[in-house]
Amino acid sequence: MTDSEKLAEILSKSTNAVFFGGAGMSTESGIPDFRSANGIYNQKLNRTFSPEEMASHDFFLSHPEEFFAFYRERFVYLDAKPNAGHLALAELERRGILTAVITQNIDGLHQIAGSKVVYELHGSIRRSYCVKCGKKYGVDFILNNIPIPHCDCGGIVKPDVVLYGESLDNDTITNSIQAILSADTLIVGGTSLIVYPAAGLIDYFRGQHLILINKTATRADSDAELVIRENIGKTLKKAVDLLN
């Protein structure tokens, strides 16, 4: 029996599956890992910042113009489309097999694919808000107002993403934990499980079937019933096709 057949068999018996995904979920849509920082900003500032520093709340406050230039280039990929994995998860939800997607990604592709219950641990590029008055904006406002987007009230309009040094949203964490606690099957895909606190959420799983889909080893491999080293999109699509 192939890995996809095993996955399909598990899913065929599941009524409360949950997907927990990371950056590998979106690389098949052409969205790279942001850590490949371009040196142009560092040259301008005449010092070296790591990508993590440039994606931090402190950098947002201290170097807003450079932050937004970095953000527009490295975080926003509006031309990206949902891949076969996103579409497969949406189909599993429509069939009543999958009850929630928990994602560390900020691209919004799960919703575009049709998933309804999506908990975005690190926020979304598609939402923005004024740090002063709270007025909500879309992503276009940040893209079109260069170099620093300002609200009518004068406040800076910040992307609704969790930067380094910021806390995750409490309601999102609570909902994610509840979904994992209630799950009979947990599929973990496209994440090396090293970014905390998000990666620690899978420790709440008490269900029967833990499945890992990732190109490299993770700390949870030894606990998994099934470990798959293939592309997530291809694997999930095969499994859903087999359910037919």
Can you tell me the distance from the alpha carbon of 195 to that of 172, in angstroms, rounded to the nearest whole number?
16
Could you list the active site residues? 122
Helix H segments across 136-189? 139-144, 170-182
Average pLDDT of span 96-100: 98
pLDDT of residue 73: 87
> What is residue 35's predicted lDDT score, i.e. its pLDDT?
54
Domains of the chain, each with CATH number or no CATH: 3-31+81-122+167-243 (3.40.50.1220), 40-74 (no CATH), 127-161 (no CATH)
What's the count of helices (H) and strands (E) in the chain, helices before strands? 11, 9
Give tens-digit pLDDT for 175-217: 999 999 999 999 999 998 888 888 899 999 999 999 999 988 9
CB 76 within 8 A of CB 55: no
Q: What is the pLDDT of residue 97?
A: 98
Closest CA to 160 of 130, 123, 119, 131: 123
- Whether the CA torsion 165, 170, 174, 175 is positive or negative: it is negative
State what percent of residues in the chain have pLDDT above 90: 82
Amino acid 52: pLDDT: 85
**Is the Cβ–Cβ distance between 238 and 229 less than 8 Å?**
no
pLDDT higher than threshold 60 for residue 41: no
Q: Please identify which residue in the block is written with the tokens 């609200």.
A: 151
